[in-house]
């Protein structure tokens, strides 16, 4: 291979695995919401489609811009679930920034209804479920729908139930196995969905659309035999406690347990091994399926 071709292949590899073009944070939300949508009866799907058909041109443009689509492309429910991230730079919605997560104390052993009553993801889910049920204005109803889809994804990402001192793992530096994720939160948001590297695989063999379809196929296959009724028969605090249990695991590598305290591991750079990646990728898949099943249940009640 000539030097010129080597350089071209390197550029392709970097672009494929850059955070701007390979935005698996977006993909995880899209997958959760598409799976949830597919679980709904057609009458409920039609209600969602009808609501989204009434989106303002401003919201259509910013959802499409965030997802790198054509400006006027029709918005699916899967893509609408990225709206809560697409609006982060709009100061009109600044009040919602803390609603993506739940900050807890380091000695917290369980989340209860009293842990947070406002400005956190647990409260956000209740708020926007009620808004989806009661709002008369189509804009408010659409916002509730899009927020709710996003919040269900967030609460099932374990590091959205975490500690303010390290910004939910954003300060916990890592050496990634795959991708360009530089901290633990980022890795769980994006890179943990990547396939493990194969020595015989060339960088320019990677096809994002094929990968996206394969992940969706895997999740759909797992969903068939999953305990959907059991997962649905839970509440918001259960979902938060599932995330809390995960981040307190020693193998999760987020904190060092000392009695009840989950002490910070910010100073230790975490090396993501293939064993870690494979183990927690399976858990991430399960968290996404749980989110989809529970979102579908909430939407079935609210619509």
- Mean pLDDT confidence for 252-265: 90
In terms of pLDDT, which residue wins out, 55 or 206?
Answer: 55
Confidence of residue 25 (pLDDT cuts 50, 70, 90): confident
Tokens of 68: 């790198």
pLDDT given for residue 204 in this prediction: 56
Residue 24 confidence (pLDDT) above 60: no
Share of the chain above pLDDT 90, in %: 81
Cα 225 to Cα 72: distance, rounded to the nearest angstrom = 38
| % of the chain surpassing 70 pLDDT | 89
Write down all domains in the chain, each with its CATH number in brackets.
13-89+98-302 (1.10.575.10)
pTM score, whole prediction: 0.90
Task: Report long-range pairs for 65-68 (Cβ below 8 Å, ≥24 apart).
Answer: 66/26, 67/26, 68/21
Hey, CA dihedral for 270, 274, 279, 281, is it positive or negative? positive
Quote the Cα angle for 25-128-122, to 5°.
Answer: 65
Q: Average model confidence (pLDDT) for the chain?
A: 89
Least trusted range by pLDDT, from 112-121, 150-159, 165-174, 195-204: 195-204
CB 81 within 8 A of CB 153: yes
Cα–Cα distance list, 16 to 19, 70, 154, 211 (Å): 9, 20, 25, 12
Instruction: Tell me whether residue 251 is exposed, middle or buried, using C-beta atoms within 10 angstroms of its C-beta: 0 to 12, 13 to 18, 19 or more.
Output: exposed
Q: pLDDT tens digits, residue range 94-148?
A: 999 999 999 999 999 999 999 999 999 999 999 999 999 999 999 999 999 999 9
């Amino acid at each position: 291979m000539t030097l010129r071709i080597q350089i071209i292949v390197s550029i392709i590899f970097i672009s494929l695995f850059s955070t701007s073009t390979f935005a698996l944070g977006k993909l995880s939300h899209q997958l959760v919401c598409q799976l949830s949508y597919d679980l709904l009866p057609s009458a409920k799907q039609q209600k969602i489609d009808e609501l989204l058909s009434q989106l303002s041109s401003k919201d259509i443009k910013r959802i499409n811009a965030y997802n790198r689509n054509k400006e006027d492309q029709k918005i699916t429910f899967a893509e609408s679930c990225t709206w809560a991230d697409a609006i982060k730079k709009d100061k009109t919605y600044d009040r919602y920034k803390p609603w993506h997560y739940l900050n807890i104390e380091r000695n917290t052993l369980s989340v209860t209804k009293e842990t947070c009553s406002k400005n956190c993801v647990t409260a956000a889910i209740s708020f926007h479920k009620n808004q989806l049920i009661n709002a008369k204005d189509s804009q408010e109803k659409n916002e509730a729908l899009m927020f709710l889809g996003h919040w269900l994804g967030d609460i099932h990402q374990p590091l959205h139930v975490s500690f303010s001192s390290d910004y939910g793992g954003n300060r916990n530096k890592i050496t990634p196995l795959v991708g360009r994720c530089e901290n633990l939160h980022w890795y769980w948001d994006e890179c943990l969905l990547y396939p493990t590297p194969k020595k015989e695989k060339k960088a320019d063999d990677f096809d994002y659309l094929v990968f996206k379809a394969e992940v969706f196929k895997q999740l759909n296959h797992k969903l068939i035999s999953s305990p959907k009724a059991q997962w649905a028969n839970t509440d918001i605090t259960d979902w938060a406690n599932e995330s809390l249990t995960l981040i307190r695991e020693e193998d999760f590598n987020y904190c060092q347990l000392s009695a009840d305290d989950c002490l910070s591991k910010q100073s230790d750079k975490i090396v993501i091994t293939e064993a870690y990646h494979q183990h927690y990728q399976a858990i991430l898949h399960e968290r996404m399926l749980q989110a989809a099943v529970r979102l579908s249940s909430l939407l079935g009640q609210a619509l």
